[in-house]
Structure 1
Amino acid sequence: MTEGLTVPAAAGGRDWWRSAVVYQVYPRSFADSDGDGLGDLRGVTAHLDDLADLGVDAVWLTPFFPSPQVDAGYDISDYRGVDPLFGTLLDVDALLERAHALGLRVLLDVVPNHTSSAHPWFAAALAAGPGSPERARYHFRDEPTDWLSVFGGSAWTQVEDGQWYLHLFDSSQPDLNWSSPEVVAEFDDVLRFWFDRGVDGFRIDVGHGLVKDPRFPSFPASPLASGAKAQAPYWDQEGVHDLHRHWRALADEYATTGERRPRMLCGEVNVPVPRAVRYVRPDELHQVFNWPYLVAPWDGPALRAVIEETLVAYGEVGAASTWVLGNHDSLRVATRLGFPPGEAPRRVGPRTAQPDAEAGLRRARAAALLMLALPGSAYVYQGEELGLPEHVDLADADRQDPAFARTGGVDLGRDGCRIPMPWVADEPHLGFGAGRPWLPQPESYAPLARDRQRQDPGSVLALYTDALRLRRALELGAGELTWRSAPGDAVLAFESAGVSVTANASTQMVALPAGAEVLLSSDPGAGRAVPPGTTVWWRRAADG
């Protein structure tokens, strides 16, 4: 793309999700209202005002359904209930009522790739035996294949009668067979149950992995290996698009009947951009997560490449882009960006290389301001607005992610990015709750507590709050990006919705034009300059 070329805003109506900022809540680590050490729904509801004050448009809740909690709730035994650890259906109703009163929309997490092994369907499958309709809801075979689990080890487990069942994740998470009409009908009912209760949309877990190649061909590579997403017989299969079209039609019913309030579907689709855009064609999902952007390093050419590719590709199918810096499965951005570009490990712990924490936080602030200036929708993982780092010193004895156990500690797991939130620096457990948290909080979280940051105009919280206020007022999410010249390819320069943006990933100071009006800087002490590791929103002088 050349200087001056404009990438138009995605075509279509101004539906709320096209420019929304969605805040991801990981309930067990958000706020604990009853002192049992786990966050819960009442804890979420108690802090919805804080999220409204922050300036987000929607809240996405990861699973709170009944579950044995082997994989932190992504092993679901009842899709229409609430695990007592998190509350009750009445607590969901209260949360929805308060969120909607504050103007916040609510998304839930649906997990259609697998159930828990404690789900009544799986118990019935084991009891019914080979060849039964009950087993046809899952993938049972007389012989296993060489497929591997995302969490390590074989993707197959043998049952007492000799057959094997597929689980792309933990053995407690048997994969559903989406060629079964019963499975399709069941999830239609699940979606309607929550839509009818007032939920505004769903994030679809493993949205690219529901359909498996029925030939079950050999594929001994790791599901996480480079190139696996393009080759694995269980990722990105063509039949998955029929399922998403089916769900889109179901969701669209709610925009044309009854309340006439549109519902949104966002897929966890971890595939390259050219493949990902196929999931957001006009009759499929509304959004998918932008994984290539999530893993992009703080590097000018790399960032420009993924931004260009995203805006062009999504624009061609009339879809809005999404932007995301982290989530409950990924290294926290303040830690990831503390490594040189391209050198961040997948996980960080006491025995791994350590980040430059100061550089990581500086770049995380800059990355946030860059992301929030881009046209489309942005996702913010809880704690990013506080600049929380990974818990890099988490002891092995405290780790609970099944990936850690299944790999014998080779994969440190995702616990380090799931540490309970710090709300009040001087309260027990930093205000998370009265009881000992399910994962320990590091000492570094105390000065980052929300109450401390609220008093500091230079804090990360203040930066996010100011950025979200300006983003909404200036309609940056609905803008059109036009690249401008920059002093070297390590500096990104563009305009959108009348705002100029300069993101400096170089090692040199960048000067703004004479008369430039600084609207917001990720370095509040930088004045009218753009130091390395800084992003600035500014306006040109009236005389150009």
Structure 2
Amino acid sequence: MTGRLDHIRELGADAILLTPINRAPSYHRYDTTDFRALDPLLGTWDDLAELVRQAHARGLRLVFDVALNHVSRDHPWFRAAAAGGAGARERQYFRFLEDGKYLCWWGYGHMPELQLDHPDLLDELFLGEDSVLAFWLGKGFDGVRLDCANDLTFPLCRRISEAVKARFPDAAVLGEICNYSAPWLDALDGTQSYFFTASLKALWQKSISHGQFQRNMQMAYGGGAYRQFQMLSSHDIPRARTEFATDPAFLRAARRLQFTLPGIPMVYYGEEFGLEGAKDPDNRATVPWETWPARRLEPDARELQELIRLRQASPELRAGRWEPVFTDGVADLVAFFRVLPEDPQRFTLVAWNDASQARPVTLTVPWGWLFSEVELREVFTGRTCQVGAGLITLPLEPRECSVWQINPGNKGSYSFFKSWHLP
């Protein structure tokens, strides 16, 4: 991985999430046998230190992933609990049932769940001075992702965040939330949310309308819950290139939404190469590095780089307010604004025409500072339109997610925006 950092940085990424690197019997390592041991298949402690050093030198932050909810049935705690009977101290770390079975994650017997109300476990995992989380953050990581954080419960996630911040105030505490994730931001710095992904898939399958998709986004972001990670692919769902293989126009629109809606775009490794894969384990295949120099020139990589550059150059896409446009009676349309109230020139309009024909669509612009005849330019095609008395008529192409920004120089020496206009 250290040798691929330049590739990741060239794409425009600024953080890397590593799936678990602790010792475990499985390839995914979410079933650890030792929270503090590095899997030797990945390298040595010196290799890890060099990865941290090289990543930080390139402005890349590193986040480690850990499953605190469960362990491997080969973990010494569980072996002692199973062998020692009711009197074993470790027996209290798990919940054994009368039939000899035990609680395990999603019913998978190889991953027994920990009873996270036991004080010994809380100290060992995150409360103690030398806890598991403190151990890894002390190696130079910039944050932690809590696997299946919704299983840990909301109060425990809050306690974990408080404990981490007490010792590592700049560390990020992120959580995987398979539920509706916005409320969990009260306990976590950020959430890996599947709500955006699930809403897109439901729309593609025509089980919800475009209007309902817009309302879903309103629920997710209307309260300013912008610290959610937006993804199209992950190791738990099919890769987007496979999911939407029969509809490349939908995939292109979905990717543009990923980078223009509020939230933090999360790109799954290999998406820049157009890597395909259905459900686990196909979606977890290795990157074909032997062909990667040629594959970097594929449309997926170019478009991804364009979207990352667009987001980096547009502060309203990173931190601006989200304003939905509800277009009653207009089918197959999603539209919204991203604006910075403190700078009226920082303005992006996204209009997704999912209809199979080109059409003009007129939208209301409810801001008094957006003057008549100011020009908007579509960032990918260069076509233009003008604002007129609080309305914009957009020329939309079929199955296109268009992105429009202000082109204030269309009147030559005239300036629409004076410095004293700014609040």
User: TM-score normalised by the shorter chain: which range applies?
Assistant: 0.7 to 0.9
Change (3 A) 1:421 1:534: farther
Change (3 A) 1:512 1:55: farther
**Residue type of the alignment partner of 2:287:** M
Does residue 482 of the first structure (1) align with residue 392 of the second (2)? no
What CA distance in whole angstroms lies between the structure 2 residues aligned with 1:63 and 1:389?
22
Please state whether the residue corresponding to 1:520 is helix, strand or coil. coil
Please state whether the residue corresponding to 2:151 is helix, strand or coil. coil
Structure number with the higher helix fraction is: 2
Does residue 295 of the first structure (1) align with residue 144 of the second (2)? no
Once the two structures are superposed, the pairs formed by residues 106-505 of structure 1 within 5 Å of their partners are: 106-143=62-99, 163-169=100-106, 170-188=108-126, 189-210=131-152, 240-254=153-167, 256=169, 262-272=170-180, 276-281=181-186, 284-296=187-199, 297=201, 298=204, 300-313=210-223, 315=224, 320-338=227-245, 356=246, 359=247, 361-390=248-277, 414-425=280-291, 450-455=292-297, 459-475=299-315, 476-484=317-325, 488-497=330-339, 498-505=347-354
Q: What is the Cα deviation at residue 485 of structure 1?
A: 6.3
Say whether the 8 Å CA contact 2:70–2:114 is kept in structure 1: yes
Q: What is the Cα deviation at residue 337 of structure 1?
A: 2.7
What CA distance in whole angstroms lies between the structure 1 residues aligned with 2:213 and 2:272?
21
Give deviations 1:415-449, integer Å, cap 9, x for gaps: 12112113343xxxxxxxxxxxxxxxxxxxxxxxx
Q: What is the Cα deviation at residue 196 of structure 1?
A: 1.1
Structure 1, 460-469 or 299-308: larger mean CA deviation:
299-308
What CA distance in whole angstroms lies between the structure 2 residues aligned with 1:83 and 1:255?
25
What CA distance in whole angstroms lies between the structure 2 residues aligned with 1:364 and 1:305?
20
Please state whether the residue corresponding to 2:86 is helix, strand or coil. coil
Does residue 105 of the first structure (1) align with residue 61 of the second (2)? yes
Give deviations 1:219-239, integer Å, cap 9, x for gaps: xxxxxxxxxxxxxxxxxxxxx
Say whether the 8 Å CA contact 1:65–1:82 is kept in structure 2: yes
What CA distance in whole angstroms lies between the structure 2 residues aligned with 1:389 and 1:508?
29
What CA distance in whole angstroms lies between the structure 2 residues aligned with 1:485 and 1:305?
9
Partner residue in 2 for 1:62: 19
Say whether the 8 Å CA contact 1:295–1:325 is kept in structure 2: no
**What is the TM-score when the length of structure 1 is the normalising length?**
0.63
Say whether the 8 Å CA contact 1:453–1:462 is kept in structure 2: no
Change (3 A) 1:251 1:319: farther
Give deviations 1:92-151, integer Å, cap 9, x for gaps: 1111111111111111111011101111111211221124321111111223xxxxxxxx
Please state whether the residue corresponding to 2:306 is helix, strand or coil. helix
Say whether the 8 Å CA contact 1:287–1:322 is kept in structure 2: yes
**Residue type of the alignment partner of 1:280:** L
Say whether the 8 Å CA contact 1:521–1:537 is kept in structure 2: no
Give deviations 1:480-506, integer Å, cap 9, x for gaps: 122346582412222214112122222
What CA distance in whole angstroms lies between the structure 2 residues aligned with 1:84 and 1:521?
49
- Structure 2: gaps spanning 5 or more residues: 340-346, 363-372, 383-393, 411-415, 417-423
Structure number with the higher strand fraction is: 2
Partner residue in 2 for 1:508: 357
Q: What is the Cα deviation at residue 369 of structure 1?
A: 1.1
Larger Rg: 2
Please state whether the residue corresponding to 1:165 is helix, strand or coil. coil
What CA distance in whole angstroms lies between the structure 1 residues aligned with 2:167 and 2:121?
22
**Of 2, 5, 10, which aligns to 1:53?**
10
Say whether the 8 Å CA contact 1:293–1:303 is kept in structure 2: no
